[in-house]
Structure 1
Amino acid sequence: MGCMAKNKSHDGAGPSQRQLRVGELIRRTLSEVLARGDVHDPELNRMSITVGEVRTSPDLRIATAYVLPLGGEGQGEVLKLLARNKGELRHAVGKKLALKYSPDLRFQLDQTFDQMDDTRRMLNQDAVRRDTEN
């Protein structure tokens, strides 16, 4: 009964600790695999890719990796290359992590850096700076 109450209180409350932990493990694994060039695709291996975050579904069967090529160049290409090598990346993640199921990997562009730049620009506006300094 304690487990049911725990799960019930978590409905709609954001990711669980387990989701966060597994997402971070997947992020690290993908980062290592991509940095070492362990994928058998020369086009993918020549790119430097940052894996900013990985979010998992509640059942851990789907993992969405938020990625960005170094310098922001070739964003469309990086998504195609990652999708093309999804099976090999999924296998590498499954081998490294002891999960019941290796998650289905999905890739999206990480918009965090763009949002930070927009925020920085906004904070540097004279009117906003005056308001924040008072």
Structure 2
Amino acid sequence: MAKNKLQEGSGPSQRQLRVGELIRRALSEIFARGDLHDPDLNRLSITVGEVRTSPDLRIATAYVLPLGGKGQEETLKLMARNKGELRRIIGKKLALKFTPELRFQLDDTFDRMDDTRRMLSQDAVRRDTGE
């Protein structure tokens, strides 16, 4: 029982990280090569920043962003519409015992980096950090 409590708070396991990275690479390749049957999705340039898997590896959440950040909601809808085909292609590419259910969310990493830069460039913060 104590072991499970320790694992819960310690972050993702090596296996979760490895499977997430394999799925991220596969999705990136699929989007770059236009391997899908949906021309609307194939015409988009999509960045897959990260894929996080659930501890049981049954769910994979891909954090994505269309090039330039435009059409984010449309991109999420197109990806949701094609998640069955994406899952099937990933299942063929990767030798996993079970291909996880795919979920998609917008990657807000770049927005957070911009916010951090803005905050660090403020005069009061620069004074406090000694720059």
Q: 2:12 is paired with a residue of what secondary structure?
A: coil
Q: Tell me what 1:39 maps to.
A: 36
1:126 is matched with 123
TM-score of the superposed pair, with normalisation by structure 1: 0.92
For the residues of structure 2 that align with 1:11 and 1:57, how far apart are their CA atoms? Answer: 11
Structure 2 CA distance, aligned partners of 1:74 and 1:82? 12
Question: C-alpha offsets along residues 11-66 of structure 1, whole Å, 9 cap, x if unaligned?
Answer: 33210000001000100000000010000111001110000000000111100000
Q: CA RMSD in A?
A: 1.5
Unmatched segments (≥5 aa) in structure 2: none
Task: Report whether the alignment pairs 1:72 with 2:69.
Answer: yes
Q: Identity of aligned pairs, percent?
A: 81
Q: Deviations over 1:78-106 (max 9, x none)?
A: 00000011011001111111111110000
Give ranges in structure 1 of 5+ residues lacking alignment: none
Q: Distance in 2 between matches of 1:127 and 1:9?
A: 40
Aligned residues: 131
Looking at structure 2, the residues matched to 26 and 39 of structure 1 have their Cα atoms a distance apart, in angstroms, of 16
Counterpart of 2:97, as a letter, is K
Q: 1:66 is matched by which residue type in structure 2? A: Y
Partner residue in 2 for 1:54: 51
Moved segments of 4+, more than 6 Å: none
Report the equivalent of 2:18. Answer: 21
Q: Give secondary structure in 1 for the equivalent of 2:11.
A: coil
State TM-score, norm by structure 2: 0.94
Q: Structure 1 residue 108 and structure 2 residue 105: aligned?
A: yes
What is the CA distance between 1:9 and its match in structure 2?
3.8
